[in-house]
Amino acid sequence: MTGFLRITKLDLFTMKSQLVMYLSLALVVMMFGLMGSSVTILCITGAWFVALMSSNIFAIQEKNNLDRLYGSVSVSLKDIVLGRYVFSFLNYFISFLAVIILHFGFATFQDRTIELSEIVLGFSASFLVFSTITGIQMPIYFKMGYTKAKVWSMVPFVAVMALVAIPAFVPALSGIIEFIQTHRSILIVVGIVVSCIIQFLSYKISIIAYRNRKRG
């Protein structure tokens, strides 16, 4: 098995104890769904929740000294970082699928039509939210460790959610929402491309940060 996949598998096994916390996402999505929220809002909510949960593996890594365990499975530093990014993305993608399944259930129950464009926009927007938060957060954790970084890691959560929420409450910025509604195709492509760029740059920075931390 490839080195980074060993780390991904190990992280998935380590996080089994957190399954109940992940299931709470379903309750949150159900609450928003019953309130009639759009699939894009549901997807963004799921992405924000999973990004928040992504820090738990760093806490467990530090508490149980998993670095020693990583060393015993003969993997490189790059494998550790890449494996963690793959693990994080899998969490996001599984949550996205769960949200879509719940959305289909709500739409069927409420006799509403489901548009593919809304689902794709939901993926693009939620992936951008997830990538922005974790893209800032993960290099900080690799550089400082969970205990020192946990306060700083909250900054991207607050900043991203503020950027998402403010246009809906500030009349002067309502044009942003109208622009999104009339230029879906462009925003879908831009959102996915920007998300991939953020993840790639974040991964590269994390390698440097983790290497410097180990040397120090």
| Three-class SS state of 76 | coil
Please count the CA atoms within 13 angstroms of the CA of 25 that sit on its side-chain side. Answer: 28
DSSP structural state of residue 16: G
pLDDT digits (tens, 9 = 90+) for 96-113: 998 888 888 877 777 777
Residue percentage of the chain with pLDDT more than 70: 84
> Can you give the pLDDT at residue 130?
95
> Can you give the pLDDT at residue 192?
95
pLDDT mean over 56-60: 88
CA distances from 188 to 29, 180, 191 (A): 22, 9, 5
> Can you give the pLDDT at residue 137?
93
- Please give the span between the terminal C-alpha atoms of the chain, in angstroms, as a whole number: 30
> Can you give the pLDDT at residue 216?
67
Helix/strand/coil (H/E/C) assignment for every residue in 151-203: CCCHHHHHHHHHHHHHHHHCHHHHHHHHHHHHCHHHHHHHHHHHHHHHHHHHH
pLDDT digits (tens, 9 = 90+) for 135-178: 999 999 999 998 888 888 888 888 877 776 666 565 555 566 56
Q: Is the pLDDT of residue 45 over 80?
A: yes
Q: Which of 37-46, 52-61, 206-215 has the highest mean pLDDT?
A: 206-215
Q: Is the pLDDT of residue 95 over 70?
A: yes
> Can you give the pLDDT at residue 201?
97
CA 58, CA 135: separation in Å to the nearest integer? 15
Residues 50, 130 contacting (CB under 8 angstroms)? yes
pLDDT digits (tens, 9 = 90+) for 192-205: 999 999 999 999 99
> Can you give the pLDDT at residue 199?
97
Sign of CA dihedral 146, 150, 154, 156: negative
pLDDT digits (tens, 9 = 90+) for 111-126: 777 788 889 999 999 9
> Can you give the pLDDT at residue 165?
67
Mean pLDDT of the chain: 83
Q: How confident is the model at residue 40 (pLDDT cuts 50, 70, 90)?
A: confident
> Can you give the pLDDT at residue 98?
86
pLDDT digits (tens, 9 = 90+) for 16-25: 777 777 677 6
Both tokens of 189, joined, read 């492509």
CA distances from 25 to 9, 13, 66, 128, 145 (A): 22, 19, 27, 19, 26
CA 210, CA 216: separation in Å to the nearest integer? 10
